[in-house]
Amino acid sequence: MPGIAFGRFDISFSLGSIKAYLAEFISTLLFVFAGVGSAIAYNKVTTDAALDPSGLVAIAVCHGFALFVAVSIAANISGGHVNPAVTFGLALGGQITVLTGLFYWIAQLLGAIVGSYLLKVATGGMAVPIHSVAAGVGAAEGVVMEIIITFALVYTVYATAADPKKGSLGIIAPIAIGFIVGANILAAGPFSGGSMNPARSFGPAVASGNFAGIWIYWVGPLVGGGLAGLIYSNVFMNHEHAPLSSDF
């Protein structure tokens, strides 16, 4: 069973670690700007976008593309988490220390907040949409949906990026991660909103000043990501050696 390590302050404040935090900040900012921006843009060019199937497809594709790029540009620096739920799942699986993971969270949340505010400024003060469950969908159902789709995301991260046995899969990891996010948004968007990412939900909530139901997008993704990390790391990974400090 992999060990959960707290970490050391000297390593967490090293130059390499600071560069990793900056990479997470930039990647999350760009991902949120593109993802939330796609929703704002679609709302501007059409009416009732939330009920339009083409809007759902456009937003899902944009999130998938944006995450593919965000993961790719940070992969060699920070591992390209771009998501507190991914960081949490990797910490439970012993792939990153708890202390470094906390700084990743701070960087990701700040990136999401800045990206959301930049959208608000760049669009002339247009409303920044937040995640919320659909009419007729309860909070419990929303949490369950977020648990399932975030499990799928973090499980994909482990299988294609974190597992030492990944082989050539590591080359296509960002593509696979982007694809699963796009697919999950298509499946869950009309129900829970398809967040899978506390930072993606928290940034727009801060910029809009509306935190209604925000707990759903913390509880669901963290439980789903944590379960994926525990299951994959304990069942499928070989723990003969500890993960390298340069890995995630």
Output the pLDDT for position 2.
67
Of the candidates 161, 204, 155, 172, the one whose C-alpha atom is nearest the C-alpha of residue 34 is: 204
Token duo for residue 109: 């949340």
| pTM recorded for the entire structure | 0.93
What is the distance between the alpha carbons of residues 86 and 105, in angstroms, rounded to a whole number?
A: 10
Number of helical H runs and strand E runs in the chain: 9, 0
Output the pLDDT for position 242.
45
Output the pLDDT for position 169.
79
Per-residue pLDDT of the chain (248 residues; tens, 9 = 90+): 567 888 898 888 999 999 999 999 999 999 999 999 999 988 877 765 555 678 889 999 999 999 999 999 999 999 999 999 999 999 999 999 999 999 999 999 999 999 999 999 999 999 999 999 999 999 999 999 999 999 999 999 999 999 988 888 788 999 999 999 999 999 999 999 999 999 999 999 999 999 999 999 999 999 999 999 999 999 998 755 444 344 44
Helix, strand, coil % over all residues of the chain, rounded to 5: 70, 0, 30
Output the pLDDT for position 244.
38
Catalogue all structural domains in the chain, each as residue range(s) with its CATH number: 9-235 (1.20.1080.10)
What is the distance between the alpha carbons of residues 18 and 23, in angstroms, rounded to a whole number?
A: 9
Length of the chain: 248
Q: Which helix (H) or strand (E) holds 62?
A: helix 53-74
